[in-house]
Chain A
Amino acid sequence: MLVVGASVGGLTTAESLRRRGFTGRLTLLDAEPRQPYDRPPLSKQVLAGVWPPERVPLRQPETLSALDAEFLLGDPAAGLDVAERTVHTVGGRVLTADVVVVATGLRPRTLPGQAGLAGVHVLRTLDDAMALRADLLRCARLVVVGDGVLGAEIAASARGMGVEVTMVGPQPAPLTSRFGPLVAGVLAELHTERGVDLRPGAAVTGLTERHGRVTGVCLEGGEVLPADVVVVALGGEPVTDWLAHSGLDVDDGLICDSRCRAAEGIYAVGDVARWHHEALGVAVRWENRTNAVEQAVAVAGDILGDDQPYTPVSYFWTDQFDARIHVHGETSPTAEVSIVEGDVAERRFVAAHRRDGGVIGVVGWNMPKQARLRRRELVGASVLVGGKS
Chain B
Amino acid sequence: MKVTVDQDRCVASGQCVTAAMAVFDQRDEDGVVVLLDPNPSAELAEDVRNAAALCPVMAIMVEE
- Check A290–B14 contact: CB distance below 8 A: no
| B-chain residues with CB within 8 Å of residue A389 when the two chains form the complex | 17-18, 21
Residue of A nearest to B34 (CB): A369
Residue interface mask A41-60, B partner, CB < 8 A = 1:
00000000000000000100
- Check B54–A326 contact: CB distance below 8 A: no
* Contact A367-B31, Cβ < 8 Å, known A40-B56, A293-B53, A297-B50: yes
- Check A297–B53 contact: CB distance below 8 A: yes
Give the bracket for the number of chain A residues in contact with chain B.
20 to 34
- Check A326–B56 contact: CB distance below 8 A: no
- Check B56–A289 contact: CB distance below 8 A: yes
- Check A372–B14 contact: CB distance below 8 A: yes
| A-chain residues with CB within 8 Å of residue B57 when the two chains form the complex | 38, 40
- Check A326–B13 contact: CB distance below 8 A: yes
- B25 shortest CB reach to chain A, Å: 8
Q: Which of A367-386 contact B (CB under 8 A)?
A: 367-370, 372, 375, 386
- B24 shortest CB reach to chain A, Å: 11
Q: Which of B13, B30, B31 contacts A290 (CB 8 A)?
A: B13
- Check A317–B53 contact: CB distance below 8 A: no
The distance in angstroms between the C-alpha atoms of A93 and B27, with both chains bound, is 50
- Check A368–B26 contact: CB distance below 8 A: yes
- Check B18–A386 contact: CB distance below 8 A: yes
Query: Is B39 in the interface zone, CB < 8 Å from A?
Result: no
| B-chain residues with CB within 8 Å of residue A71 when the two chains form the complex | none
Residue interface mask A1-40, B partner, CB < 8 A = 1:
0000000000010011001000000000000000000101
- Check B26–A324 contact: CB distance below 8 A: no
| B-chain residues with CB within 8 Å of residue A128 when the two chains form the complex | none
- Check B31–A19 contact: CB distance below 8 A: no
Q: Which of A12, A369, A372, A386 contacts B53 (CB 8 A)?
A: A12
Q: Which of B11, B15, B27, B49 contacts A369 (CB 8 A)?
A: B27
Query: Is B58 in the interface zone, CB < 8 Å from A?
Result: yes
Query: Is B63 in the interface zone, CB < 8 Å from A?
Result: no
Query: Is B5 in the interface zone, CB < 8 Å from A?
Result: no
* Contact A324-B12, Cβ < 8 Å, known A297-B50, A389-B18: yes
The distance in angstroms between the C-alpha atoms of A389 and B21, with both chains bound, is 8
Query: Is B28 in the interface zone, CB < 8 Å from A?
Result: yes
| A-chain residues with CB within 8 Å of residue B27 when the two chains form the complex | 369
- Check A290–B54 contact: CB distance below 8 A: yes
Q: Which of B20-64 contact A (CB under 8 A)?
A: 21, 26-28, 30-31, 49-50, 53-54, 56-58
Residue of A nearest to B12 (CB): A368
| A-chain residues with CB within 8 Å of residue B21 when the two chains form the complex | 389
- B8 shortest CB reach to chain A, Å: 11
Q: Which of A12, A38, A294, A368 contacts B30 (CB 8 A)?
A: A368
- Check A16–B12 contact: CB distance below 8 A: no
The distance in angstroms between the C-alpha atoms of A368 and B18, with both chains bound, is 13
- Check A19–B49 contact: CB distance below 8 A: yes
Residue interface mask A176-190, B partner, CB < 8 A = 1:
000000000000000
- Check A369–B28 contact: CB distance below 8 A: yes
The distance in angstroms between the C-alpha atoms of A149 and B49, with both chains bound, is 30
Residue interface mask A322-356, B partner, CB < 8 A = 1:
00101000000000000000000000000000000
- B5 shortest CB reach to chain A, Å: 15
Residue of A nearest to B58 (CB): A58
- A383 shortest CB reach to chain B, Å: 15
A-B contact pairs, 15 of them (CB 8 A): A58-B58, A290-B15, A293-B54, A297-B50, A315-B15, A319-B11, A324-B12, A366-B30, A368-B26, A369-B28, A370-B28, A372-B14, A372-B17, A372-B18, A372-B26
Since A319-B11, A324-B12, A326-B13 are in contact, a sample of 5 more A-B pairs with Cβ atoms closer than 8 Å, ordered by chain A residue number, is: A58-B58, A293-B54, A315-B13, A369-B14, A375-B18
Chain A residues proximal to chain B, CB less than 8 Å:
12, 15-16, 19, 38, 40, 58, 289-290, 293-294, 297, 315, 317, 319, 324, 326, 366-370, 372, 375, 386, 389
Q: Which 6 A-B pairs have the closest CB atoms?
A: A368-B31, A368-B12, A372-B14, A369-B26, A369-B31, A389-B18
